[in-house]
Structure formats: C-alpha cells, structure tokens
Amino acid sequence: MYNSTICSFMLSADYILQPRMVVVRQSSVSCTLKNQSVRIGHCTKVPRNENLEKLQHGYLFPEIERHELRHLRMYPNANVIDLGIGDTTQPIPTLVTSSMVDFVRGLSTVTGYKGYGPEQGEKALRKAITVAFYKDFGIKPSEVFVSDGAQCDITRLQLLMGLNQKIAVQDPSFPAYIDSSVIIGQSGKFVDETGKYKNIEYMTCGPQSDFFPDLPTISRTQLIFFNSPNNPTGHAATRKQLEQLVDFAKVNGSIIIFDSAYSAYITDDSPKSIYEIPGAREVAIEVSSFSKFAGFTGVRLGWTVVPEELLYSNGFPVVHDFNRIMCTCFNGASNIVQAGGLACLSLEGLRAVRSLVDYYMENARILVDALTSLGLTVYGGKNAPYVWVHFPGSKSWNVFAEILEKTHIITVPGSGFGPGGEEYIRISAFGQRDSVIEASQRLKYLLYLQEN
C-alpha cells in the first residue's frame, strides 16, 4: 500500500522544522534569535522571553500556509484544494447576517447606538447559550462568559491558572494547548529524543486504546486539557469514558478544561458537554465556539463556562477569578457579533446552522468512503468534520509533502498535533462539495499510480 518509499519529496520534515540560528553583530552588540530572521540595527538590552525560545517551530497552521504559498510559487497554474486548516467555507445563513446588519444600522441612530457592553457578554446571549446547550445541566447565565473565540479563552485560562501548574494533554491534540503552556512557562524543556516537553503529561489517545487515555498510568496534573470531539482524530468520547475522566479528576484534585468546539457535529449518543456527566460541575471548565457550527471562523465568537461549584484548594470559587481575568484582559466581544450569535440560537437560526453542519458531515462521508475504498485505515468523519488517515511506516510531513506535490491538495501532517500523530494526516471536510469530490478523485488516482 502507501509506504515510506513513495514519500521522497525534496523537503524533509527535518528541514521544514529545523530551528535556525541567526546572529547579527553590530559594533559590540550581538542579537541572537531562533526561528526568525532579523534585520541589522540597534539591539536593546531587553532579553527575549525565554519561554518563547522553547517553542520548537512556527505555529502549525501558519506553517501549513507557508507551504501552500511556496507550492503556489512553484506551480502558479495549479488548482490547489485546501483541506488542511479547518476553516469553514459555506456562507453564514442570511438570518444571522441580517441581524448583524440591522444592529450596525442601529449604531447610526441615537436610540440604537451602544458602546461598551458587559465584559462577560450580553445577558440575552448568555441566557440563550444556557438554554441551547445546557438546559438540563444546571448551568446559569452568570456562569457563561462570552468571548472572541475558544482559542483566545484557552490562553486566558492559562493566564488564570498561572505558570506553577502542570498540564496533561491528549496526544494527539490541538496544538494551542501545548503552545500556550510553553509560552506561560509551565512546560519545562523540550526533549528531542521523545519530541515532548518535560513537564507536560502526554496522554496517548490512539486507536489501540479507543482514542482515550489509560488513566491509571497518567501522572497527576493540576490541569487536564480534553477535547471532544477531538481535533485531529475526530473521536467523540463516550459517556463511560467521560465518567472515568471526571472520576479521575476528582480523585487527583485536578481541573478539566473541556473543549467542546465540535460538539454540534456529534451524531451518536456521545455527550456534547462535560456537564452531562454527574459531578463535572465540581471539576470542569468548558470552552466552546460559534466558529465551526455557525461559520464564525472570521466573525469570532465563543464562550467559556465556569461553574460556581468549581473551587481552588483553599475553597475560593474559580469563577470569581475568571471574571477578573475577563474584566482586566478583555473588553467584551463585539456587540455586532453578539447580535449574530443571538440570531444563531433562535429556533430558526438553529435550523439554519444545522444545515451547515449537515453539509460538512456529508463532505466527511465522501472523503471517508473514498479513502477506505483504497484500503486505507481511516478514523473520524462520524462525529467531527475531520478525517484521520493512517500511513504505517511513513513520516507524516513526508506524506503531506507527497500529497501536495502529486495532487495539489493541502492536508495537515499528524505529527503537528503531537508525537502520537506521527504516521497520520488530517483531512478537513470544511470545503466546497465540488472540491471535496475532486480531491477524492485525485487521491484515488495517486494511490492507484503507487500500486501500479
């Protein structure tokens, strides 16, 4: 089948990710930087944040964009299909955009103008979020904090918890969990031999364990980042698995930071919220987003739930500190965008955005069917818009490069999500239908050529 012998693109993974050392000398001043070019000039006496120096390479998705731009320079007439970065492609429903347009027009009137809003979000939207997503789980509007996106909230939560915490992450997992830990100073040194940071607990979540960590073997950490459905594998944790996770957190006195950004894509009976699990209010924070279910990737709107029952070791409520973080570091989500979010959560709006979810999941089905027909082992595509494809014995950056070179399709190398992603690539179903069909045909042709 598809093996390492066909992965011989001119740029190896080592070359792609190799940190560069640039030294600039001017008079008696030396400026030394990693992973970026500098221009000759005056250097201050302010040292670089040593934590940023620990980052091993550029953030994954801008790195993918750089490869795409380089490919386009080499093949300017190529019809490149981007199934890499998980960016939505379908238009936002008119009902939602009309609500934002109406709000904008109102800003030009005396009666419709609004300035600063509550840092925690508009009351109507906070209430609508609790009704739409947490109606049966006891979540109050006062426990919901509206923001400019889940990824931003992940960093705010790191700021909230501070550098003296140790974190656990799924392996593979969304890279922002690890990168934010590195930047804030939690991670310790990077160990080349393992491809891991010393002070981060990597919870292996591969197919051999049904994409769930072997919890009895996991060391205690203060924070556990857990994403379900998982990006990149597409696995949605079962109720039994999340019950085990909550029990594990209780026994260890840990806090779960549960990322449910893809919960709208769940098609089976897997929990869509950690708060479906009894006792989760005492150990879990939930982060979520409008980006992927409503097409708000460029509009930017998300939320975080911090229950009143969640307490620090000294008994102080975490929600009070997170409120302070939001008031200090954030001036509130755009009131225009919040008007759109409120429209999304109306009965008509929920039906409209549901059609977007269905569209992308049909794309995922097309990709899964095409890849499995080639004899490849494929995961995901059932409860998330990502397809996780295994290429045994191959380096994921080499598979990425081979596919890009031979088919002009952008994917994402699995190792970008952690050591557990090696030998895999992630393919996004966030594309136009005709592009997804065309990509499936190109991939079939590539694999046919390799076999013959």
Rg (CA), the chain: 23
Residue 34 has pLDDT above 60, yes or no: no
209 and 247 in one domain?
Answer: yes
What residue numbers bound the domain in which 248 lies?
A: 94-348
358 and 344 in one domain?
Answer: no
284 and 198 in one domain?
Answer: yes
54 and 34 in one domain?
Answer: yes
- How far apart, in whole angstroms, are the C-alpha atoms of residue 158 and residue 269? 31
390 and 343 in one domain?
Answer: no
Question: pLDDT category, 38, cuts 50, 70, 90?
Answer: low
- Three-state DSSP class for residue 312: coil
Minimal CA–CA distance to 299: which of 338, 354, 350, 346?
338
Read off the CATH number of the domain in which 368 is found.
3.90.1150.10
Number of domains within the chain: 2
Read off the CATH number of the domain in which 249 is found.
3.40.640.10
User: pLDDT per residue over 247-265, tens digit each?
Assistant: 999 999 999 999 999 999 9
- The answer to whether residues 229 and 266 touch, using CB atoms and an 8 Å cutoff, is yes
82 and 47 in one domain?
Answer: yes
388 and 425 in one domain?
Answer: yes
For residues 229, 188, 247 and 156, what is the CA-based torsion angle, rounded to 10 degrees?
Answer: -60
Residue 449 has pLDDT above 80, yes or no: no
User: pLDDT per residue over 135-169, tens digit each?
Assistant: 999 999 999 999 999 999 999 999 999 999 999 99
pLDDT of residue 2: 45
User: pLDDT per residue over 378-433, tens digit each?
Assistant: 999 999 999 999 999 999 999 999 999 999 999 999 999 999 999 999 999 999 99
Residue 87 has pLDDT above 70, yes or no: yes
Q: Do the strands 424-428 and 386-390 form a parallel or antiparallel pair, or are they unpaired?
A: antiparallel
Average pLDDT, the chain: 91
**Residue after which a domain boundary falls, among 322, 348, 374:** 348
120 and 63 in one domain?
Answer: no
46 and 17 in one domain?
Answer: yes
98 and 78 in one domain?
Answer: no
DSSP 14-61: HHHH---EEEEEETTEEEEEESS---SS---SPPP-TTGGG--SS-HH
286 and 171 in one domain?
Answer: yes
266 and 344 in one domain?
Answer: yes
**Residue after which a domain boundary falls, among 330, 348, 366:** 348
DSSP 165-198: --EEEEES--THHHHHHHHHT-S--EETTTTEET
Query: What contacts 62, CB < 8 A, 6 or more positions away?
Result: none
226 Cα distance to chain centroid: 11
